[in-house]
Chain A
């Protein structure tokens, strides 16, 4: 039973770890402001699909890891991801029946909210960053969402016992 649960969790944990790695993967200077929020996208999907297993707590732990990995203020991404996971879990029943276009628009809003929290914390802490550092990830993240759901969908299908 526990082994079964572990084997079901493994693909999702692997997705999250891969997202963390993508978040610190090297990119050319011109492209780095447009790096999608891999971690946020991954958490939106899994919190929406498996809201009992992946929720605010998971988001917080992953957020702390992301903070350390990126060297941002400890807690910055954690608090932002908590809110993202909260929205995803709270409205997961609606989100699941959304058509792709509507879901993509929702993801845009969630990502914008996510970046707003990061912007807010940066503002309080006195970190200056150009506007493209906030809007770039929102746009690329939204564009990549439909492809990402296809990929995660296949992972979920395969992970099913």
Chain B
């Protein structure tokens, strides 16, 4: 009897408390949502939680990183073994050389592509790795392994060897989140390299297509035109290749033509990207890569 009553009391106490707790926490979440959406008072909180989350990212990234590291070390051992066999048999030597040459050739073309991208612009460029961590399901984004500690800042432009990849949106201490140019909410001020016609390239949510919704039907735009950053938005320095026009459909009854372009960067295949510091900023960190 007594136990039944206490149980009852307990239950009657518990139920409103649960609803109250829901109200409290949901209200708090909504408050945080509004503040986080409109202001940036919560950046410090964000960073503090981000540091606590970072170990999880490292652990998640570890198997892939380990796989790459294993690949590297076994390749090194292979090279040693091949070098050894080169002393022993000539047939094996040619074979080994062929193998090494193909690897070197691939590396060389990659480095050349990087160097070319670097000399083309007079900005400070630094390589960052991409962590194998997937982020927001509602966005096209990625996580890089450089953060505030390395001088990364919000809005920083990212490129790969072929063109613009995206920009940093959220900087943690040791890592940063970046949005790709293919994100549906990302718009990038560009110009057509051939004639300097300026417009805006908007992401579509597909990795291989950008839309240019603001080109009038009589605009001088052709298939194969190269789009480069115009530098107007302030986030991206001017002159980086962005995309190549692959489809122009002029619709007579509409004010704007339907123009789409294929990004120059391989947005869904990048393993490492380059972060750009504009030289004028003077706050390029001194740590060498």
Contacts and interface: CB of A to CB of B under 8 A. Distances in A.
Interface of A: 17, 20-21, 24-27, 29, 32-33, 35, 55-57, 59-60, 63-65, 68-76, 78-79, 82-83, 86, 89-90, 118, 121-122, 125-130, 133, 137
A127 B133 CA distance: 21
Interface of B: 18-19, 21-22, 25-26, 28-33, 36-37, 42, 45-46, 49-50, 52-53, 56-57, 59-60, 64, 132-139, 141, 169-170, 177, 184-185, 205, 207, 268
A30 B31 CA distance: 35
A75 B49 contact: no
Given A24-B56, A68-B50, A129-B137, 20 more contacts: A24-B57, A24-B60, A24-B134, A26-B60, A26-B64, A29-B268, A35-B137, A63-B29, A65-B52, A68-B53, A69-B135, A71-B135, A71-B141, A75-B36, A79-B25, A79-B33, A82-B22, A86-B22, A121-B33, A127-B139
B53 A79 contact: no
Contacts of A24: 56-57, 60, 133-135
Nearest to B137: A133
A69 B57 contact: yes
A146 to B, nearest CB: 23
Contacts of B50: 68
Contact of A75 (B29, B141, B170): B29
Contact of B56 (A17, A32, A83, A128): A17
A88 B134 CA distance: 28
A29 B142 CA distance: 12
Contacts of A17: 56
Given A78-B25, A82-B26, A83-B22, A70 B137 contact: yes
A71 to B, nearest CB: 4
B133 A137 contact: no
A74 B32 contact: yes
Given A32-B137, A78-B29, A128-B185, A64 B207 contact: no
B29 A20 contact: no
Contacts of A33: 137
A64 B49 contact: yes
A1 B32 CA distance: 37
A80 to B, nearest CB: 9
Contacts of A27: 134
